[in-house]
């Protein structure tokens, strides 16, 4: 019997034990983009679950806020924007975006995965949530968030989040940061 077989069996057993100790994976919940808004002068994406009982607020930069809002509005542009181009590449290469997953919060930074189906196999690609969301709105891709990342609307009144500006219906230029007045 070759020497590597007992080593292989040992590695297999250890990996099975370790995977069983990890516990069940956290449930992923379908969410949708409710709106892009300003919270304390910072742009954010408000994601809500299907029942609109819980939410996830992801802060993004102004460029990404505009990109996501443009994807939500689906304007007819003469030339593709960056996230439009990414979607074109994906489709031209015979792949499809299956789902977006926001799966972790570490050091005040959210982490996301883009699940691509390529040749019948699903490949997961690490991405910033803002890029993944910009792709999702352009490709009608389902978005999921890990259940433990969501907050109940009870912790922050729903009206407070919904009354923030801008909304997707507002002109794009209203998302730009306000210029600070120079001191004299």
Q: What is the pLDDT of residues 120-171, one digit of tens each?
A: 999 999 999 999 999 999 999 999 999 999 988 766 555 555 555 444 444 4
Assigned token pair, 126 = 């690490």
Residue 21 pLDDT exceeds 80 = no
**Comparison of pLDDT for 158 and 24, the residue scoring more:** 158
Quote the percentage of the chain above a pLDDT of 90.
49
Query: Cα separation of 117 and 124, whole Å?
Result: 9
Domain borders along the chain are 25-172
What are the residues whose beta carbons fall under 8 Å from the beta carbon of 139, sequence distance 6 or more? 87, 90, 97
Average pLDDT on 97-108 reads 95
Domain formed by 25-172, architecture: Roll (3.10)
Pick from 72, 83, 61: nearest CA to 34: 72
Strands (E) across the chain are located at 28-39, 42-49, 54-59, 96-106, 109-118, 121-127, 143-146, 151-152
User: What is the pTM (predicted TM-score) of this model?
Assistant: 0.72
């Amino acid at each position: 019997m070759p020497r590597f077989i007992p080593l292989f069996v040992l590695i297999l057993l250890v990996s099975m034990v370790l995977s069983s100790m990890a516990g069940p994976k956290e449930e992923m919940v379908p969410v949708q983009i409710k709106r892009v808004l300003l919270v304390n002068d910072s742009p954010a994406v408000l994601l809500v679950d299907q029942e609109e009982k819980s939410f996830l607020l992801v802060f993004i930069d102004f460029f990404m806020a505009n990109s996501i809002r443009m994807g939500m509005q689906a304007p007819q542009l003469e030339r593709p924007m960056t996230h439009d181009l990414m979607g074109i590449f994906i489709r031209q290469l015979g792949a499809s975006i299956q789902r977006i997953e926001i799966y972790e919060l570490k050091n005040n930074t959210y982490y996301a995965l883009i699940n691509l189906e390529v040749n019948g196999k699903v490949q997961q690609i690490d991405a910033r949530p803002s890029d993944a969301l910009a792709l999702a709105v352009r490709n009608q891709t389902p978005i999921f968030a890990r259940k433990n990342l969501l907050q109940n609307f009870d912790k922050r009144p729903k009206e407070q989040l919904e009354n923030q500006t801008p909304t997707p219906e507002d002109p794009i230029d209203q998302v730009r940061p306000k210029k600070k007045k120079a001191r004299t």
